[in-house]
Structure 1
């Protein structure tokens, strides 16, 4: 599903002494099936933005279009259940979303809430366990008896069990070891290749550079840039002005350039770095 924001503003605590804008006149479009990353400093409006996509928050002004559904300040919650099935959200520390007595009950809760029979929901739950690389034997266990990494996977499986067409990920790999991080990012990439629209909030610029096709940059409740990763990460002045880091591959390439290596454009991923560097070292890439 394509996602369009048009002049969206969200005001927290309107009319009160602590009133402030979480979003200010934000407009953009995410194409259907895109892998989009949202970056920016803490407090810039990233989480506020994505919570509008499944209508956990509604705009104070402006309009949001998700597929064919329009969301405004007047939209009633009772009309939003179909949208929330289509738009899944994995919060920061998703293991805090767990609540059921067993892993099976936790994963199958969402599908049953959206109309699946218990038998169908449990079959889906086992499929999701396999998808997130957990053994079927954990289904009967309490999710709170699992390791932190396993709990994270159970929470993600619970979101995926409702088979969303849009998946929002708010720092989904925070705190995981490198292997767990890579396995989950590979899963999200696989889902995107199968047609799921992925929206990733991340401070990991390597992930943004490697996976994203579109990058939205937030700063103080404003959308200040909507561009491709290559253009953003090759714009050093822009990154410095907004306190954003370059990917490690780009930083390394800059150091190499000072030592005489040539780059027709600064690489932003390890693959791009190797492609340009290996021939200069007398080797062959690929």
Structure 2
């Protein structure tokens, strides 16, 4: 009887702690979402925190006056190309490092992963300015790959290390090439890790502000940089700013929800295998 009461008490305790954590982490997003449907006066007034008449003028302003579709397109192109480029180079590289035990390359990747991205900024700017690639997609895609590529490799190495070598050797004996074995046997088994690493690399590129501030221009300005359009020296369009923030967050949130099963299995498998 005491044990049953203790278990119920523990469940209630864990439920309360979980609810508090959920509220703490979700409140900023919920406030941002609700503020996107308020007027400037309602946002700045504490009396309209929960009671207000929602309207869509902020979203109309974002798309009509600030041409946000162009910024969405820029962010999408940069994030997709940098993620695909990182996967194209990172997966074979991670497989080679894992299969041939290149520990010195693993250390190099770790160093590249932990170095702050701002240290690459000045060399990138000098290089792309010399070859006239400032305000171009290649400059932003390559700069984002500097962070995404080491991350994908570091996540995928443990997956490839645990794949049985005997399975690959049997396929080689049956006449399969190493490339075909890698594509048809190794990659399908590593889907959780691929989805997890590519999604996190996509999120980094989608949210990146630092590289875009220096390397982009009017032709390639992405969403995080476009938020500055709502901030001037005299005022801040809080409603439009909150609407723009919701637009930036929504695609990443939907992708995370749709691929949640793969992310959980990928992170848990990486934790066990690493």
TM-score, reference length from structure 2:
0.22
**Structure with greater strand share of residues:** 1
* Higher RCO by CA contacts (8 Å cutoff, separation 6 or greater): 2
Greater Cα radius of gyration, structure 1 or 2: 2
TM-score, reference length from structure 1:
0.22
**Structure with greater helix share of residues:** 2
